[in-house]
Amino acid sequence: AVQAQSVGRPLSARFGNGPLHRHTMLLPLPSPPMQIGPPSEYARSRRPWMLVVLVLQSVTCILRIISLLDIMGGFIMLIMVAIGWYGWKEDMHITFICSWGVLCLINGAFDAVRLIDVAVKSTMPMFSRSASFWYNFHSVIEIVIPVSALAGALLAWCLYRDYSSQILPGQDYGDMRPYATTYGSAAREDTRLYGRIVSETLGGGGRTNAQPFAGQGHRLGSI
């Protein structure tokens, strides 16, 4: 039987603020990749999927603040969603999408651990037919919070993997072409000009190759 004083309370309020909510952690993270050229066809095809995830995260964030009264968690989630919306608006900007994905992974992992910790240690079930509608509705929100965040992290990882395959087509050390292609472009040019100097003459547009170690030499101090 569900106790009367616990009906209608969110799942996070049944256990209280334990040590899990008081510890902080600093994670050293690399800088996100820079956007080079337009997005690829794969990134454009995932634009509707990202829209669905962002809408789900936005609605969940609003319910988290209004219904669960989780002000701090909702504010952190709001920053995460705002970065995702900006990356989506800027034609699938990979820099902001990766930042959004990292925040989704961190927030989703912590929210999932918090949900499991509260559900295991709580004496009340997450769902009950004898409880009120808002009691079960709050439990649904508690579950959707980490699910929506981890879904965004997975989508951002797929977009980053596509970006890496576009910017670095060759992975062997014998063919290093950092500027051979741009993100999403189909044309690939060989720009390995190291050790070769090509110039055009003013007349017919012919090419002359500069010869190394040629010309008149001078001793140091003789000029």
> Would you give per-residue pLDDT tens digits along the chain (223 residues)?
445 455 555 555 554 544 444 455 565 666 778 888 889 999 999 999 999 999 999 999 999 999 999 999 999 999 999 999 999 999 999 999 999 999 999 999 999 999 999 999 988 899 989 889 999 999 999 999 999 999 999 999 999 999 988 855 454 444 434 434 444 444 344 333 323 433 444 444 445 566 666 667 767 765 5
In the chain, where the domains are located: 42-166
Partnered with residue 200 across adjacent β-strands are 207
Q: Rounded to whole angstroms, how far apart are CA atoms 64 and 145?
A: 8
pLDDT of residue 199: 40
Spell out where the chain has E strands: 198-200, 207-209
**For tokens 């990766």, what's the residue?**
98
Report strand pairing: 198-200 vs 207-209: antiparallel
**Most distant CA pair in the chain, distance:** 102
**DSSP of 70-111:** -HHHHHHHHHHHHHHHHHHHTTS-HHHHHHHHHHHHHHHHHH
Locate 60 and state its tokens: 């969940």
Q: Rounded to whole angstroms, how far apart are CA atoms 2 and 48?
A: 42
C-alpha torsion sign, points 215, 219, 221, 223? negative
Burial 23-38 (b: 16+ CB within 10 A, else e): eeeeeeeeebeebeee
pLDDT of residue 122: 87
DSSP 3-state of 115: helix
